[in-house]
């Protein structure tokens, strides 16, 4: 019997917060419990072996059976809603990495709700035609090719009433590749397909294909119109490593800047003018390179290039790998990022090298980071590691920034009474925008908005997305029910999200102390201090001992 592998990673807030002690149950198709385990301080379980079918069946386009065994995963943790992921394909020799993004329960929620995610077979094994449409001539909308972080995916056909989710571009590509094809395919076939997936998405961004039609998303998950994307599904390690290496590389015609419209289909139950997914396997077996495979389906003058314009990243890859012996500002940047990340991931060892000097402790920190985030653990900061460190740093820094803003705003526990709608302005609108941005860190369907105190169309879209998440009437107006839901959700996050090392410590109240000043001094919130100490008012007495929540 062949063996595949599965590991679970429970993290939230765009991987900024690992979730320890999540109970994980793995069951087979007959509902037999195969494994029970809990996540560690990095939010991970061990990698477990699972029986499956020989990989040769997933390499044969004429095989009509299912070339893998399926398993299901159930995840639960106190204070969070539960998740069930059903029909996960486990393939011979491949490691499936299942991300579990548990959502904190609301403040007054008494029992967890369960989210059910169905994975199933990849698109290459599905019936039905694909009618991907796009500009075949060189389009020109944006001035440059940009990697979007995040990319907004509509979870249905373009005109269907469905939610949008926002994910990082590299995670989107990993998900699509894992949803479209088999990870057992030859490396050249995987790369050719991943290049087509990347380029197809960038073409949608570059041409603003959907946004020019009045939609508020970049791409759909419909196989009929775009590429298959299953939110919450596992990705495969072989695919993940390739994507980390080439996520900012795309296909264009010589002399043009635009990403080529790389349409594709499976080549068996559906045919098209673009690339045959099964055909890439045959060509890879004939020792074609990824570019040669792509030129077999697209014009002969196509080339593979890269863009370093990546939104949501603080600094771009310097172009040269950093390793022991490297010195300079780029090394110092990585050291700064890792030292901040390790406050949320304490397993990363402290860096004791001089600033800007890549020594043994920097290498140890890099290697541990690479292990945690499924990168090749060689202690070298190449492109894949640089951008992963940058992305995780951005996520943890974003949470810290929001926490600090909450202290300044003094959100409190009682919602405002004002009814807000498009056109409203003022402090209550800033409070609304802040709450939506905090909640959006844990609910991927809520877009990030500017905190400018102006209730514009972007704020209205975010309000509607929140109302849909909470099963409220999606009218874009913030009245009593929406305010209450916002505060319940926000306070639930504060009660249930504890970054590693957050703990608490005792403090004796002194003359002149107020809850607001203490929250500012210790980088926490008034709400957190009141909850931890069971306070019902903001009155303090000299000599009173308070527990102060730590923030790592």
Q: Per-residue pLDDT for 504 more than 80?
A: no
Express each pLDDT in 111-140 by its tens digit. Answer: 999 999 999 999 999 987 777 777 655 555
* Domain assignment present for 288: yes
Over residues 62-80, the mean pLDDT reads 96
Domain shared by 59 and 191, yes or no: no
Q: Per-residue pLDDT for 503 more than 60?
A: no
| Cβ contact 229:172 at 8 Å | yes
Domain shared by 490 and 508, yes or no: no
What are the tokens at 96? 């499936």
pLDDT for residue 552: 41
Percent over 70 (pLDDT), the chain:
95
Q: Per-residue pLDDT for 500 more than 70?
A: no
* Domain assignment present for 169: yes
Domain shared by 42 and 162, yes or no: no
Domain shared by 352 and 458, yes or no: no
pLDDT for residue 148: 92
pLDDT confidence tier of residue 231, bands split at 50, 70 and 90: very high
SS3 for 426-445 is CHHHHHHHHHHHHHHCCCCC
* Domain assignment present for 181: yes
Over residues 48-56, the mean pLDDT reads 98
| 307 closest CA partner among 261, 259, 242 | 259
Q: Which domain covers residue 60, as residue numbers?
A: 2-121
Express each pLDDT in 163-221 by its tens digit. Answer: 999 999 999 999 999 999 999 999 999 999 999 999 999 999 999 999 999 999 999 99
Q: Classify each residue of 341-377 as buried b or exposed e, where b means 16 or more C-beta atoms within 10 Å of its C-beta.
A: bbbbbeebeebebeebbbbeebbbbbbbbbebbbbee
Domain shared by 527 and 441, yes or no: no
Domain shared by 38 and 68, yes or no: yes
* Domain assignment present for 474: yes
CATH number, domain containing residue 416 = 1.10.101.10
Domain shared by 337 and 425, yes or no: no
Domain shared by 512 and 490, yes or no: no
Q: End of a domain among 476, 496, 516?
A: 496
Over residues 502-521, the mean pLDDT reads 74
* Domain assignment present for 321: no
| 229 closest CA partner among 165, 137, 184 | 165
How far is it, in rounded angstroms, from Cα 512 to Cα 10? 42
Grouping H, G, I as helix, E, B as strand and the rest as coil, residue 519 is helix
How far is it, in rounded angstroms, from Cα 191 to Cα 250? 11
Question: Could you identify the residue written with the tokens 């209550």?
Answer: 428
Express each pLDDT in 372-428 by its tens digit. Answer: 999 999 999 999 999 999 999 999 998 888 877 877 787 888 999 999 999 999 999
Q: End of a domain among 370, 398, 426?
A: 398
Q: Residue 456 is inside which H or E element, if any?
A: none
| Cβ contact 483:414 at 8 Å | no
pLDDT for residue 495: 82
| 406 closest CA partner among 429, 448, 428, 438 | 438
Mean pLDDT of the chain: 92
* Domain assignment present for 316: no
Grouping H, G, I as helix, E, B as strand and the rest as coil, residue 125 is helix
Domain shared by 206 and 287, yes or no: yes
pLDDT confidence tier of residue 345, bands split at 50, 70 and 90: very high
Over residues 477-500, the mean pLDDT reads 89
What Rg, from alpha-carbon coordinates, does the chain have? 24
DSSP β-bridge partners for residue 33? 27
| C-alpha dihedral sign at 14, 15, 19, 24 | positive
| Cβ contact 232:83 at 8 Å | yes
* Domain assignment present for 482: yes
Torsion (CA) 279, 283, 289, 295 in degrees, nearest 10: -60
Q: End of a domain among 480, 496, 512?
A: 496
* Domain assignment present for 509: yes
pLDDT for residue 141: 59
Domain shared by 9 and 155, yes or no: no
Express each pLDDT in 236-281 by its tens digit. Answer: 999 999 999 999 999 999 999 999 999 999 888 777 889 999 999 9
CATH number, domain containing residue 110 = 2.60.40.1120
Domain shared by 300 and 358, yes or no: no
Please state the domain count of the chain: 5
Q: How far apart are the first and last CA of the chain?
A: 47
Identify each DSSP E strand in 168-266 by its residue range. Answer: 219-220, 235-236, 249-253, 264-265
Q: How many residues does the chain have?
A: 552
Express each pLDDT in 98-107 by its tens digit. Answer: 999 999 999 8
Domain shared by 343 and 379, yes or no: yes
pLDDT for residue 432: 97
């Amino acid at each position: 019997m062949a063996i595949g592998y599965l590991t679970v990673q429970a993290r939230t807030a765009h991987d900024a917060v690992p979730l320890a002690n999540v109970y994980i149950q793995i069951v087979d198709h007959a509902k037999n419990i195969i494994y029970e385990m809990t996540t560690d301080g990095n939010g991970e379980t061990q990698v477990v072996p699972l029986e499956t079918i020989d990989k040769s069946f997933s390499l044969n386009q004429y095989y009509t059976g299912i070339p893998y065994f399926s398993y299901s995963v159930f995840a639960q943790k106190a204070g969070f809603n539960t998740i069930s992921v059903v029909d996960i394909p486990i393939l011979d020799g491949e490691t499936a990495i299942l991300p579990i993004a548990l959502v904190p329960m609301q403040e007054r929620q008494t029992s967890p709700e369960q989210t059910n995610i169905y994975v199933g077979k990849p698109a290459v094994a599905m019936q039905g035609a694909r009618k991907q449409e796009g500009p075949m001539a060189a389009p020109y909308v944006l001035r440059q090719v940009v990697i979007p972080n995040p990319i907004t995916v509509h979870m249905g056909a373009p005109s269907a009433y469905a939610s949008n989710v926002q994910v990082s571009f590299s995670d989107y590509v990993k998900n699509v590749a894992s949803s479209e094809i088999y990870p057992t395919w030859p490396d050249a076939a995987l790369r050719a397909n991943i290049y087509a997936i990347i380029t197809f998405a960038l073409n949608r961004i570059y041409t603003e294909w959907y946004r020019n039609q009045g939609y508020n998303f970049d791409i759909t998950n419909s196989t009929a119109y775009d590429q298959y994307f299953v939110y919450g599904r596992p990705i495969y390690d072989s695919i993940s490593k390739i994507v980390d290496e080439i996520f900012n590389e795309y296909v264009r015609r010589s002399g043009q800047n635009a990403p080529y419209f790389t349409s594709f289909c499976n080549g068996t139950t559906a045919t098209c003018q673009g690339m045959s997914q099964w055909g890439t396997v045959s060509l890879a077996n004939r020792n074609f390179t990824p570019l040669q495979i792509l030129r077999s389906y697209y014009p002969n003058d196509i080339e593979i290039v890269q863009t370093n314009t990546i939104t949501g990243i603080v600094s771009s890859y310097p172009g040269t790998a950093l390793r022991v012996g490297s010195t300079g500002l780029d090394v110092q940047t990585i050291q700064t990022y890792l030292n901040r990340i390790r406050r949320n991931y304490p397993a990363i060892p402290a860096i004791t090298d001089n600033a800007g000097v890549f020594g043994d402790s920097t290498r140890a920190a890099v290697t541990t980071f690479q292990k945690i985030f499924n990168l090749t653990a060689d202690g070298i900061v190449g492109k894949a590691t640089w951008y992963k460190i940058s992305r995780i740093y951005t996520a943890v820094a974003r949470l810290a920034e929001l926490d600090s803003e909450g202290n300044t705003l003094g959100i409190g526990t009682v919602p405002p009474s004002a009814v807000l709608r498009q056109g409203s302005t003022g402090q209550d609108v800033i409070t609304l925008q802040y709450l939506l941005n905090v909640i959006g860190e844990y609910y991927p369907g809520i877009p990030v908005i500017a905190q400018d105190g102006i209730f514009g169309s972007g704020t209205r879209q975010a309000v509607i997305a929140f109302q849909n998440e909470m099963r409220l009437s999606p009218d874009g107006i913030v009245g009593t029910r929406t305010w209450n839901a916002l505060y319940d959700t926000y306070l639930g996050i504060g009660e249930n999200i504890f970054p590693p090392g957050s703990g608490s410590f005792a403090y004796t109240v002194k003359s002149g102390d107020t809850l607001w000043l203490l929250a500012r001094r210790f980088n926490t919130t008034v709400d957190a201090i009141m909850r931890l100490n069971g306070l019902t008012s903001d009155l303090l007495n000299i000599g009173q001992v308070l527990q102060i929540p730590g923030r790592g």
